[in-house]
Structure 1
Amino acid sequence: MIIRPATHSDVDRMDEICEAAKVAMRNMGIDQWQDGYPNRACWEADVDDGFAYVAETDEGTVTGMFALVTNAETRDPEPSYGKIDGSWLTPKANYAAVHRVGVAPEAKGQGIAGMMLDFACNKAAQMGSASVRIDTHADNKPMQRTLQKAGFISCGVITLAEGNDAGEPRIAFEKLV
């Protein structure tokens, strides 16, 4: 398994994995990713911005994807993380944010999400971040378990500041890197 920057030739597969994740969450009664986001345009923008990564088997099959968002200039790559009902581990430190984590249905249970999160944390540390932050829906228990297993700490609740779900609460996690 390798994790590498995504290219535009990966976007079809990323979108396919994303659509499968939407169906799986809907079937579990999780109201996350049910409003058209994320979509192909998100993945294209993530590739253009250098934020998109994929997990690929030795045979060349993309089995997972995520976005690692950093912004060294503002030290605050995620507008939704400016205010939290709780407390960040590193309230004033430079951090990276992980978004849009997805694993192909046929690859679930193989630790791919954990590998991608480990990669994101290592990459963020190399880029000078003190921590990695991520959020998820309160009903998304599988993702919460994955984050806790990967060493992320629940820090409280944030309110999404942008997009189709603006105003919606999310459980926020952080890991020191």
Structure 2
Amino acid sequence: MVYNSDKMATVYMRRAKARDMDTIVSILQSAKGYLKAQGIDQWQSDYPNHETIQTDMDNHQAFVLICGDEVAGYAAAFEGEDPIYTALEDGSWLVDGHDYASLHRVAISDKFRGQKLAARFMTALISYFYAQGARDFRIDTHPGNLPMQKVIANNGFEKRGTVHMEEADHISTARWAYQLLIQD
């Protein structure tokens, strides 16, 4: 759905609810197809799946981007130490410690692709966790995922090194890790 009227659709972020599950799974499945079509092996196993999203919801880490009255995107985010970011290779974090917000599984629905909503979603996530006291933000993506790298860079993140995901035995797990520090 593309909104081309004079009135812009309301865009906001909220915590995901159980009723959003099917739409979230659909968004992630279409994101897998999008990545595969680009020749990127990110998310080409069973991950992320229904159980991943349910765990995110159970841990209060699941967020959706709403555009108009539709779920347009999904992300998982939380504060505190993230095991993915404890073993950074080929670089270093700007600050060490365990007090940061991690952003994961950011995906936008095919219906809304090309509308710059990933950038708006990222801004909403950063703003939400900033309001909670976070000043250090971390995110990672596949080295071949150029669209997400652009979203990450355009939100002020700086590439800091490489981390590894345990996605599947046969899938390359290297991910570029990024960090954003916000000063008060």
TM-score relative to the length of structure 1: 0.90
Secondary structure of the structure 1 residue equivalent to 2:14: strand
Q: Does the Cα contact within 8 Å between 2:43 and 2:167 map onto a contact in 1?
A: no
Cα distance in 1 between the residues matched to 2:57 and 2:174:
27
Return the TM-score normalized by structure 2: 0.87
Identity %: 32
Q: 1:34 aligns with which of 22, 44, 50?
A: 44
**Aligned ranges 1:72-91 → 2 under 5 Å:** 76=81, 78-85=82-89, 86-91=91-96
Find the counterpart in structure 1 of residue 62 from structure 2. Answer: 52
Residue 45 of structure 1: how far off its partner (Å)? 1.3
Q: Is the 8 A contact 1:93 1:130 kept in 2?
A: no
Structure number with bigger Rg: 2
Letter in 2 for 1:155: R
Structure 1 unaligned runs (5+)?
none
2:76 paired residue number = 67
Q: Aligned letter for 2:88? A: I
Q: CA deviation at 1:142?
A: 1.1
What residue ranges of structure 2 are gaps of 5+ in the alignment?
1-10
Q: What secondary structure sits across from 1:109 in the alignment? A: coil
Displacement of 1:56 in angstroms is 0.9
Deviation at 1:109, TM superposition (A): 1.5
Letter aligned with residue 154 of structure 1: K
Aligned to 2:109: 104
State yes or no: 1:140 paired with 2:145: yes
- Say if 1:17 and 1:104, in contact at 8 Å, map to a contact too: yes
Moved more, 29-38 or 163-172: 163-172
Deviates more, 1:1-10 or 1:164-173: 164-173
Aligned to 2:8: none
Partner SS for 2:179: strand
What is the aligned residue count? 170
Query: In the alignment, which of 102, 106, 114 is matched to residue 119 of structure 2?
Result: 114
